[in-house]
């Protein structure tokens, strides 16, 4: 894009941004070390000292310090965002390391929050980092978000995506969104003034288990770097009020062919939260909204521990151990007594199963198998249980010879 073409967008984009501190930008000072650190920004006419002051005054909440949160956090910190809050409650696992570049081999087992803040503080000690070592929930989300100008969504599950969206709509904060799966990525800005929100694009969540997450379907390690950097770029543009943000434009990325395309998305006047007559006026139970069982008692009755299944097999009990993963996953590692019928083929191959026999269903971590259990129950199977934690939990509690992935 030519420079004169780029400037066409500037007047309208200055009306779209985030509300920063009321302190005049001229009063925000930089130490000599900061001025040297940011001088390549400050000599840009689109940024300059005033723009860098806006970055220093900005407060960004990063939900998730994983695949997307790693590159987004690195570049937001390097850019000089004044305050970065990070929400995460997980620990670093070896399976994270091919994509979650905030963490290293020596961090395995550590809190992701500790690891992330150590890395980011080394990148830029002039940034204030705020720890939120907790699950982002309906009970705490509004309180956490209150101290920030925008949210960068680095989550990987539907309940939290809807939660982040609704928090942003209800509080008037932009939602810098990204998602990844295998070779495919998406990025946009939701909940900006006049623009669409996540519910405009996805009014209802998919049925539980029908859409695999990265742990089940995999992700190219480089892809979150690509999408997370785009999210950081959009956040910085919103703070600077520069360029043309991804508002009303869903950027679709195919890393396998390295093609980028856009889909225009508009605010839906009938949207349940940002429409003309909203029906959602407060945060809800997002686990329940997405169809995920919330009852611990029900889960205990429905699920069975791997060690219990191993005991049944050792006793020679008659049961069907149904593996609903994909063939390539089955080749990585499987339970010797199991049979493979991928999730999408179960209904078509129902004749291969005995409805009168106890059937224990497994997948990688328990999500897809839970969906298949419900399918089997609807088809008349009475003795169906879900292997808790899937093949991954079997590997850690029963047979460590089965590779984890």
Q: Mind telling me the catalytic residues? A: 214, 363
Contact 245, 396 (CB under 8 A): no
Task: Walk across the sheet containing 83-87 and list its strands.
Answer: 128-132, 83-87, 59-63, 150-153, 175-181, 184-190, 249-254, 259-264
DSSP 363-392: -SSSHHHHHHHHHHHHTT--SEEEETTHHH
- Among 100, 166, 108, smallest CA distance to 136 is for 166
Contact 338, 306 (CB under 8 A): no
DSSP 17-48: S----SS-GGG----HHHHHHTHHHHTSTTTH
First to last CA, the chain: 43
Contact 115, 105 (CB under 8 A): no
- Among 46, 83, 87, smallest CA distance to 65 is for 87
- Among 285, 288, 292, 264, smallest CA distance to 200 is for 264
What token pair was written down for 364? Answer: 């990688």
Helix or strand or coil: residue 280? coil
Return the DSSP state at 196.
-
Sort residue 258 into left (φ over 0), alpha (ψ -120 to 50) or beta.
left
- CB burial of 293-307 (b: ≥16 within 10 Å; e: otherwise) equals eeeeeeeeebbbbbe
**In angstroms, rounded to a whole number, what is the distance separating the alpha carbons of residues 19 and 29?**
19
- Among 242, 98, 253, smallest CA distance to 183 is for 253
């Amino acid at each position: 894009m030519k420079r004169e073409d780029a400037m066409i967008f500037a007047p309208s984009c200055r009306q779209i941004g985030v509300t920063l501190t009321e302190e005049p930008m001229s009063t925000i000072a930089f130490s000599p070390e900061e001025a040297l650190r940011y001088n390549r920004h400050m000599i840009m006419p689109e940024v300059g000292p005033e723009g860098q002051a806006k970055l220093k005054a900005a407060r960004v909440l990063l939900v998730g310090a994983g695949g997307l949160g790693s590159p987004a956090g690195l570049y937001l910190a390097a850019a000089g965002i004044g305050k970065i809050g990070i929400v995460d409650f997980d620990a670093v696992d070896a399976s994270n390391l091919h994509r979650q570049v905030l963490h290293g081999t020596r961090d395995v087992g550590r809190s992701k929050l500790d690891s992330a803040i150590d890395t980011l503080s080394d990148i830029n000690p002039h940034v204030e980092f705020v720890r939120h070592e907790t699950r982002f929930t309906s009970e705490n989300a509004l309180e956490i978000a209150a101290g920030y100008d925008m949210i960068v969504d680095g989550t990987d599950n539907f309940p939290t995506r809807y939660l982040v969206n609704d928090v942003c709509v209800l509080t008037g904060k932009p939602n810098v969104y990204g998602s990844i799966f295998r070779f495919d990525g998406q990025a946009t800005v939701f909940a900006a003034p006049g623009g669409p929100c996540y519910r405009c694009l996805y009014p209802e969540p998919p049925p539980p288990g029908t859409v695999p997450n990265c742990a089940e379907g995999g992700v190219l390690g480089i892809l979150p770097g690509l999408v997370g950097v785009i999210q950081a770029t959009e956040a910085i543009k919103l703070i600077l009020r520069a360029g043309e943000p991804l508002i009303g434009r869903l950027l679709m990325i195919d890393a396998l062919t390295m093609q980028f395309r856009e889909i225009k998305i508009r605010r839906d006047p009938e949207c349940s939260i940002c429409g003309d007559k909203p029906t959602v006026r407060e945060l809800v139970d997002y686990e329940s909204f997405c169809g995920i069982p919330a009852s611990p008692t029900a889960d205990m009755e429905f699920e069975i521990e791997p060690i219990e299944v191993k005991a049944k097999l050792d006793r020679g009990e008659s049961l069907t151990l149904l593996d609903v993963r994909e063939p390539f996953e089955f080749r990585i590692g499987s339970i010797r007594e199991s049979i493979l019928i991928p999730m999408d083929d179960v209904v078509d191959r129902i004749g291969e199963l005995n409805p009168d026999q106890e059937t224990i269903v497994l997948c990688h971590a328990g999500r897809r198998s839970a969906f298949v259990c419900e399918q089997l129950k609807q088809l008349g199977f009475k003795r169906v249980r879900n292997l808790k934690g899937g093949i991954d939990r079997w590997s850690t509690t029963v047979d460590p010879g089965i590779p984890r992935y």
